[in-house]
Amino acid sequence: MLEYVKDNWWSILIIFNYLIAASAVITIILKNLNPTKTLSYIVVLVFFPFLGLIVYYLFGQEYRKNKIFSKKGLLNKTVIKSIHKELELSSDELNDVNNYLDEKVKLVRLLYSNENELLTLNNDVDIIINGNDKFEKLLADIKQAKHHVHLEYYIIKDDTIGSQLLNLLCDRAKEGVTVRLSYDDVGSKISKKMKLKLSNAGVHHYPFMPVFFSTLTGKMNYRNHRKIVIIDGKIGYVGGINISDVYVNDNGTRYWRDTHLRIVGDAVKSLQIHFLSTWKFVSKETITQFKPFFPKLKTLNTKIGL
């Protein structure tokens, strides 16, 4: 047997290679990737023994995606359950919602079933349609923060408006406000100098899923495209406007139209849960005292609306 292996070791390795390659091909087909990517991986695996397996191992496997799903749920489930219980609507409120929303209530049920997202009514919402308005309101709110400022962005650039925001975060951190910043490592462009300044000021900042060769990696789709801010657990921002000069309208010569929301009310608690889940993932920080992040809010005089 040993002699046979010695005499046929190359053929055995080739067979072993193609057995693994066949398994990989089946996996790729079942993943239902786009046709170009699927065909490319199959060609590499079939026509380039061993090298094809190495390429697939390095770039084809979705390790980052699996890591997200395995670790994003590390936030204290007891905390989430208690917040959700607090936000649940009464039977009377549910009846009012059903009558008001009519067919749209199906969307509410879908979001709850898929993402466990609760409908909240106790909110004041400002609709913001451009970066100038958002940045003015956001900077003013951060200046008034008393306890914490949490930011999670796909794009933060330390250009003019970005540096203004980041410098303000440094100032607030020095004044004793806890500042946590999560930014996507592909979408954001923050210089080493600015990162050092943030660290020296006491701003806690971490990239989301850092990459070294972003143009080569096959995990580019698994980025964090959120744009949310939570201030003292009372004010929240969410929408489509990132932190960049691109979103600043320049005296009518350039106009970027996008939508963002400034929220005061119960919906801020849902944003806080999302932020803390991501923060646990990127920072590995274990937070034990959640109460300051979910303060009791005064009941707002709001009407049911969508």
The answer, yes or no, to whether residue 65 has pLDDT greater than 80, is no
pLDDT given at position 171: 98
Q: Between 88 and 159, name the one with better pLDDT.
A: 159
The pLDDT of 202-219, averaged and rounded, is 74
CA atoms within 13 A on the CB side of 177: 24
The answer, yes or no, to whether residue 48 has pLDDT greater than 60, is yes
Query: What is the rounded average pLDDT for all residues in the chain?
Result: 83
Query: Structural domains in the chain?
Result: 2-61 (no CATH), 68-293 (3.30.870.10)
* 24-33, 52-61, 115-124, 141-150: range with highest mean pLDDT: 141-150
Identity of the amino acid at 259:
T
pLDDT given at position 299: 62
The answer, yes or no, to whether residue 305 has pLDDT greater than 50, is no
Percent of the chain clearing pLDDT 90 (strictly above): 41
User: Residue 202, by phi and psi: left (phi above 0), alpha (psi -120 to 50) or beta?
Assistant: left
List the structure tokens of 106.
């199906």
The pLDDT of 199-217, averaged and rounded, is 81
Q: What is the pLDDT of residues 95-149, one digit of tens each?
A: 777 777 777 777 777 877 766 677 888 899 999 999 999 999 999 999 999 999 9
Beginning with the edge strand found earlier in the chain, give each strand of the sheet holding 148-153 in spatial order.
Answer: 123-128, 260-265, 235-239, 227-231, 148-153, 178-184, 204-208
| Rg of the Cα atoms in the chain | 24
Lowest mean pLDDT among 31-35, 39-43, 102-106: 31-35
The beta strands (E) that lie in the chain are given as 123-128, 148-153, 178-184, 204-208, 227-231, 235-239, 260-265
Q: Which residue has the tokens 């994003």?
A: 72
pLDDT given at position 58: 66
User: Residue 213, by phi and psi: left (phi above 0), alpha (psi -120 to 50) or beta?
Assistant: beta
Confidence bin at 61 (pLDDT 50/70/90): low
Percent of the chain clearing pLDDT 70 (strictly above): 81
Confidence bin at 51 (pLDDT 50/70/90): confident
The pLDDT of 216-220, averaged and rounded, is 49
